[in-house]
Amino acid sequence: MAGSSSDQTFDVASLVEDFDLNRIGQYVLVILFIGFFLAPLETGIMTAFKTNRAVAETIPLMPPLAEGFTLDNMTFALNALSGAFFNSLFMAIPATIGSVLLGSMAAYGLTMVDWRGQMGMLVLFLIGIFLPYQAVLVPLARFWNNIFPLASMMRPLFVAAPILQDYHANLVPLMITHIAYGIPICTILFRSYYQGLPSSYVEAAKIDGASITKIYRRIILPISKPMFGVVFIYQFTQIYNEFLFAFTLITGSDTPEAVVTLILPAVGASTSGIDFGIRMSAAFLAALPTLIIYVAFAEQFAEGLKSGG
């Protein structure tokens, strides 16, 4: 009897294990969180494709129904933003490449080459990271406008160039500012990666007779490809989304050289109220380039994070 009853409890126990309450709880929690984070996104997308009437009459989460569906918002937003897209990319891509490349070089010089005063230089880079942007805004504007008016100096060059207009010259100071302010953080990111590399790479190459620049070009640069993916994505997102510098160095949202972040707040806002459909469309369009960059560099990004980036 005792034996059979213990068998019974054993069976029950194993049944319960199959419907582990803990596990069910975990799944429920995960689903709740997913819903919580995805709901605004879904609302946004749905709103972007709804007519004003549909926005007013349906629940935000609902997809647009037959007559509530429209592409007008998207077309409008695209028209409003197209110039700004070009401006943003024209400024952000060179700025990203510049800061990432220079950061990597600086990190190489700070970790893999021996020279006096390395520590002092590193401290300067660290200070560069912690310098608050707000503190430099006014001096920066004065510098580019009065002391070194690069934009007006370069205007003739831009007039002569194809595709570009003279006002695009106003983006160059912004680009250079971003490169300068991006170098410190890029340097620190690359530095931690380079510190993890065995020093024997550089030493072996030295004995093989390679110069400092050749070691960088042939050994270190190719080896740090995954890290480039990580830093590139990070830096592009930063620069593309940046507002303060753009707001200070470009005079306003109504100028032709305005970048996306300057124009975005104004799209869809008018005296008659806010057009949510247009705003949402614009927001999604504005986010598109960063999404594309993520997808393009996804492989390097994953590998870079894996190898201790």
Partner 1 sequence: MGRIEISNLTKRFGDTTAVENLSLDIPDSEFLVLVGPSGCGKSTTLRMIAGLETPTEGSIYIGGEHMNYRVPQNRDIAMVFQDYALYPHMTVRENVRFGLEEEPGYTSEERDARVEEIADLLSISDLLDRRPGELSGGQQQRVALGRAIVRDPEVFLMDEPLSNLDAKLRAEMRTELQQLQHRFDVTTVYVTHNQTEAMTMSDRIAVMNDGTLQQVGEPLELYHAPANRFVGGFIGEPAMNFVEGTNENGTFVGTYIEYPFDEPIRENVGGVEGVVLGVRPEDINLRRFPEDGSGSLGDHEFQMTVSVVEPHGDQNVIHLRHPDDTGGDELLHAVTSGTTVVDAGTDVVVSIDPGAVHVFETATGDALHNRRLETELEVRNV
What 3-state DSSP class applies to 50?
strand
Residue 217 lies near partner 1 (rule: CB under 8 A): no
> Based on CB atoms, which residue is closest to partner 1, 29 or 204?
204
- Minimum distance of partner 1 from residue 198's CB (angstroms): 5
Q: Interacting stretch for partner 1, rule CB under 8 A, among 34-42, 79-87, 126-134, 203-211?
A: 203-211
Which of 23, 53, 142, 206 lies at the binding interface for partner 1 (CB under 8 A)?
A: 206
* 207 near partner 1, rule: CB under 8 A: yes
Whether the CB-CB separation of 190 and 107 falls below 8 Å is answered with yes
Indicate the helix (H) or strand (E) that contains 270.
strand 269-270
- Angstrom distances, CA of residue 121 to CA of 29, 103, 108, 216, 234: 49, 13, 13, 19, 24
Please say whether the beta carbons of 246 and 261 come within 8 A: yes
- Structure tokens belonging to residue 87: 């401006």
Question: Which secondary structure element, helix H or strand E, spans residue 273, and what is its range?
Answer: strand 273-274
DSSP state string for 274-309 = E-HHHHHHHHHHHHHHHHHHHHHTHHHHHHHHHTT-
Compare residues 72 and 208 and give the one whose CB is closer to partner 1.
208
Query: DSSP assignment of 137-188, as one string?
Result: HHHHHHIIIII--HHHHHHHHHHHSSS--GGGGGHHHHHHHHHHHHHHHHHH
User: Out of 7, 20, 208, 299, which residue is the one contacting partner 1 (CB under 8 A)?
Assistant: 208
- State whether residue 120 is helix, strand or coil: helix
Which residue's CB is nearer to partner 1, number 142 or number 218?
A: 218
Candidate residues 222, 254, 272, 273; the one interacting with partner 1 per rule CB under 8 A = 222
Q: DSSP labels for 6-33?
A: HHHHHHHHHHHHHT-HHHHHHHHHHHHH
Span from 127-135, 178-186, 194-202, 249-257 in contact with partner 1 (CB under 8 A):
194-202
Q: Which stretch binds partner 1 (CB under 8 A): 145-153, 188-196, 206-214, 261-269?
A: 206-214
Residue 212 interacting with partner 1 (CB under 8 A): no
Among 89, 210, 266, 287, contact with partner 1 (rule: CB under 8 A)? 210
CB of 6 to partner 1, least distance (A): 46
Sign of CA dihedral 117, 122, 125, 130: negative
CA distance 76 to 67: 19
**Closest approach of Cβ 210 to partner 1, in Å?**
6
Binding mask 76-115 for partner 1 (x = CB under 8 A): ----------------------------------------
Select 183 or 215, whichever has its Cβ closest to partner 1. Answer: 215
Q: How far is the CB of 46 from partner 1 (least distance, A)?
A: 46
Site for partner 1 in 224-243 (CB under 8 A): 225
Asked if 223 is part of the footprint of partner 1 (rule: CB under 8 A), the reply reads yes
Q: Which of 131, 204, 288, 298 binds partner 1 (CB under 8 A)?
A: 204
Partners of 50 in beta bridges: 69
